[in-house]
Amino acid sequence: MLITDPIGDMLIRIKNALLSANLQVKMPHSKMKEAIAFKLKENGYISEVSVEEKTPQKELVLVLKYVDDLPAISGIERISKPGRRLYSSKDSIPVSLNGYGITIVSTNKGILTDKEATKLNVGGELICKIW
């Protein structure tokens, strides 16, 4: 099966796992997915990130976080898509849920959250919003 949007696939897998109350979700590994997963872990949206060595491709395993039987992630929205890339300057990076969520941005300094990107004074491609 050919996936044309691997990041969109990752976000949908997380969303579906949360809706079915799964404790973990597995997906094909890539460096960008791993960087996004670590940003989610740093900001308290998932509990654990690990990479399983398998053939022909590694697997990324995310342990989902629940607080009082409710998922820590209440919403995920993909912004930039393969057919329509959206970029933002350092001044116009959108804030997710009035600052209660995060916007993940791909910059020349790596994958950053909206707050980190404005602090480092860089813009880039808007990947997704999570709240």
Contact 14, 64 (CB under 8 A): yes
How many beta carbons lie within 10 A of that of residue 59, not counting itself? 13
Tokens 């916007």 locate to 103
Strands (E), 8-101: 24-28, 46-52, 59-64, 66-67, 70-71, 76-78, 87-88
**Assign residue 44 a region: left if phi > 0, alpha if psi is -120 to 50, beta otherwise?**
left
Mean pLDDT value of segment 5-18: 95
Kindly report, residue by residue over 23-78, the tens digit of the pLDDT.
999 999 999 999 999 999 999 999 999 999 998 899 999 999 999 999 999 999 99
- Shared fold status for 6-71 and 76-130: no
Say what the pTM is. Answer: 0.92
Q: Which CATH architecture best describes the domain 76-130? A: 2-Layer Sandwich (3.30)
- 2 pLDDT tier (thresholds 50, 70, 90): low
Domain ranges of the chain: 6-71, 76-130
Helix axes of 31-42 and 6-19: crossing angle, nearest 10 degrees: 40
Q: CATH for 6-71?
A: 3.30.1370.30
Q: How many CA atoms lie within 13 A of 24 on its CB side?
A: 12
